[in-house]
Structure 1
Amino acid sequence: MKRLAAALEYKVPPPLIGALCALLMWLICGVPPLTGRPPLLLVPALALVVLGLTVDAVGVLSFRRARTTVNPFAPERTVNIVSSGIYRLSRNPMYLGMACILTGWAVWLWQVQAVLGVVLFVVWITRFQIIPEERVLTQKFGTEYRQYRQRVRRWV
């Protein structure tokens, strides 16, 4: 089982995991039509999607400014720890943004079982992306990264 888990680390791009979770959410809700929702649902659903896109963009821009990699398959290419800006609030704002987008989708689907897709995304990304990234960053940056981990939460 450990080999299977290790084999899944860094194998699937996080945006693809997000898209698959969104599709799963739609399917487990019985493929509901995308219209006919209470109009007021659009406001919180869109707000969460816009928040998620903004958090994603700010996270990517912070990495670009620090001239470090955003490649989820190569955390070993990280050249420094980004700990300012949005990274003072979350160690993983790009993944947090994706979770916000999925939460907005769950609100729009307006069925409680849609939340399962958000939970699946968080569990998958934590186990097969974040924890392996943390392992690499701890090996590479040692005490500096351990101190950052103590100061800033993994998600929020």
Structure 2
Amino acid sequence: MKWIDMPPVWLLLAIVLTWWIAELQPMSWAIGGPITDLLGGLLVGGGIVLILLAAVEMRKQRTTIIPHMEADRLVSSGIFKRSRNPIYLGDTLVLAGLALRWDAPVALLLVPLFMFTITQRFIIPEENRLRVKFRADFARYCQKTRRWV
């Protein structure tokens, strides 16, 4: 059952909830318009770019992208110079962007809940494994690079 406890599954769940909220919310709560459509599109696009940049960097470094697995290398180059978790940041941007594109401002409340869930279920355990395996290198990386942005 570990395959189901993966970040894309949590993201998909949050996206489905966002869509559901968009379908059920009263139209009087809508804030839509060209500005929110543009912002939503930019967030979704930016999130996808972050995810792709991180995946390419991890592939170049020949380490796993799967959260529950042991990393072969500490990746601190490329997009990982800016964020220790660019894939999770990208997921979050996609979620926020879809809430705006689907005109569901209430669903934006899911964004911090998603971030909290991802941090507790994936980021903290991943960081603990990296801390044990890469010790001083990981400590230096944490001092230079923030967890999210």
TM-score by length of 1: 0.84
Matched, 1:65 2:56: no
Matched, 1:51 2:46: yes
- Supply the distance in 2 between the matched residues of 1:68 and 1:154 (Cα, whole angstroms): 19
Structure 2 stretches of 5 or more lacking a match? 26-31
Structure 1 stretches of 5 or more lacking a match? 1-8
Q: Please say if residues 39 and 100 of structure 2, whose CA atoms lie closer than 8 Å, have aligned partners that are also in contact.
A: yes
Q: Please say if residues 18 and 107 of structure 2, whose CA atoms lie closer than 8 Å, have aligned partners that are also in contact.
A: yes
1:142 match: secondary structure: helix
Matched, 1:96 2:96: no
Q: 1:42, CA displacement in angstroms? A: 2.4
Tell me the amino acid that sits aligned with residue 143 of structure 2: Q
1:6 aligned residue: none
Number of paired residues? Answer: 143
Q: 1:13, CA displacement in angstroms? A: 1.0
TM-score by length of 2: 0.87
Q: 1:117 aligns with which of 110, 113, 118?
A: 110
The range that moved more, 110-119 or 84-93, is 110-119
- Supply the distance in 2 between the matched residues of 1:155 and 1:18 (Cα, whole angstroms): 16
1:83 match: secondary structure: coil
Matched, 1:127 2:120: yes
Q: Please say if residues 130 and 138 of structure 2, whose CA atoms lie closer than 8 Å, have aligned partners that are also in contact.
A: yes
